[in-house]
Structure 1
């Protein structure tokens, strides 16, 4: 689809990748941009329509769908990372992370599918993670939620195909944002990742692999877990 002249909604639009999506959508000529965030006052980009939206609040999601009834590009970007270990972490925090990263985009998809259909089909982009393909210590809960979100994206792609809605999965490793500021790992620049994602939207891609590390992780999916995880597993 052409971004110029489109109407887009971005969740988690107040910082990091979400704010970069909003900035680049403006640059590419989107006609209207809804910048959605739990705290609307934290959205500081001019020239957009700010929405109060917690993706775990079904009433707010449906209110957003009524307000943004002209959307033809939905970007499910809002995410959470608790750092909780699966076996000993706080279960409420783990459930909340799943609510944001899995049920958030599902609730958005259910509410906005009729909107996208009414506006010609459009495109939905889900921000995923290489952690859904290769989990690391300290991010096991996050990896679980993103693996589920990857499968959700495939399922939505099948179910929305009949109404002409294209579903794009954005796969990426660590990106240089506030969420990863304390991680001593290789990071991609947010502007590069978002540019590749929007290029994928415009080219009709189903999946965007945004960086070298993610491409390597994807290439290793067919390996035995002992090979993929190597020294992380005991001999």
Structure 2
């Protein structure tokens, strides 16, 4: 997803697109500038923010997902701790490091990649869902905090995408290129939340109803 957004930004004429990766060696994509960063390491994040001093758009896409046997899985706590370090605390680290940079450059935006799992916790990925729910909460607080500093915060919610993470699973998936295009269109339109696919719209649309989708979803009922 991160690469799709980077390539779409480049295609739309962005003068410089940094791509944060843990291992930049060998990465050679036209128009993309690899930057070594580990979002679980504050020193690494701060160094990246210093290196990328002309940033006006931050995309928080780093994430990991692990399958557990359910909410009662004995490994649930350890798995969730590992995912929280990247999916939640990593987002906080990068947002705190780059928000002042964006403000100094006259304002801009932050895109936080979330999920339909924010509101619908499938038992097999319940720990992952918890990290996305936390990330959504942080996104909403961040939006209020930085709005007066000229920073637009957009939360991107999307279900299953056609990525390495879902390879081998038979399910309806949306192309990352399509999600990237939708997201950047909505960013330009000043939106603060994007529901990029049918599944995320379905789940979000039932949150205020008596029979929310998350209470008894048909695919696992």
Whether TM-score is above 0.5 comes out as yes
Q: Distance in 2 between matches of 1:226 and 1:171?
A: 17
Q: Distance in 1 between matches of 2:197 and 2:175?
A: 10
> For 1:203, which of 189, 200, 203 is the aligned residue?
189
Give 3-state SS (helix, strand or coil) of 1:166's partner. Answer: strand
Q: Distance in 2 between matches of 1:231 and 1:48?
A: 41
In the alignment, which residue of structure 2 is the partner of 1:177?
163
Q: Aligned-pair distance for 1:227?
A: 6.2
In the alignment, which residue of structure 2 is the partner of 1:112?
98
> For 1:25, which of 9, 19, 26 is the aligned residue?
9
Q: Answer with 219-228 or 131-140: which moved more.
A: 219-228
Q: Distance in 2 between matches of 1:228 and 1:53?
A: 35
Structure 2 unpaired stretches of 5+: none
Q: Aligned-pair distance for 1:213?
A: 1.3
Q: Aligned-pair distance for 1:42?
A: 5.9
Q: Distance in 2 between matches of 1:136 and 1:116?
A: 36
In the alignment, which residue of structure 1 is the partner of 2:27?
43
5 Å-filtered alignment, 1:33-72, equals: 33-41=17-25, 43-72=27-56
Q: TM-score, normalised by structure 1?
A: 0.87
Give 3-state SS (helix, strand or coil) of 1:79's partner. Answer: coil
Give 3-state SS (helix, strand or coil) of 1:139's partner. Answer: helix
Q: Kindly indicate whether residue 141 of structure 2 is the aligned counterpart of residue 155 of structure 1.
A: yes
Q: Aligned-pair distance for 1:231?
A: 6.5
Q: Distance in 1 between matches of 2:91 and 2:211?
A: 29
In the alignment, which residue of structure 1 is the partner of 2:117?
131
What is the RMSD of the two structures over their aligned residues, measured on CA atoms? 1.9
In the alignment, which residue of structure 1 is the partner of 2:206?
220
Q: Aligned-pair distance for 1:90?
A: 5.2
Contact 1:200–1:208 (CA under 8 A) maintained in structure 2: yes
> For 2:80, which of 75, 79, 94 is the aligned residue?
94
Q: Distance in 2 between matches of 1:54 and 1:118?
A: 23
Give 3-state SS (helix, strand or coil) of 1:169's partner. Answer: strand
Contact 1:171–1:209 (CA under 8 A) maintained in structure 2: yes
Q: Distance in 2 between matches of 1:33 and 1:227?
A: 38
Q: Distance in 1 between matches of 2:28 and 2:110?
A: 24
* Alignment size in residue pairs: 218
Post-superposition CA distance 1:45-80 (Å, at most 9, x none): 123211111111100000001000100010111111
5 Å-filtered alignment, 1:73-88, equals: 73-84=57-68, 85-87=70-72, 88=74
Q: Aligned-pair distance for 1:225?
A: 6.2
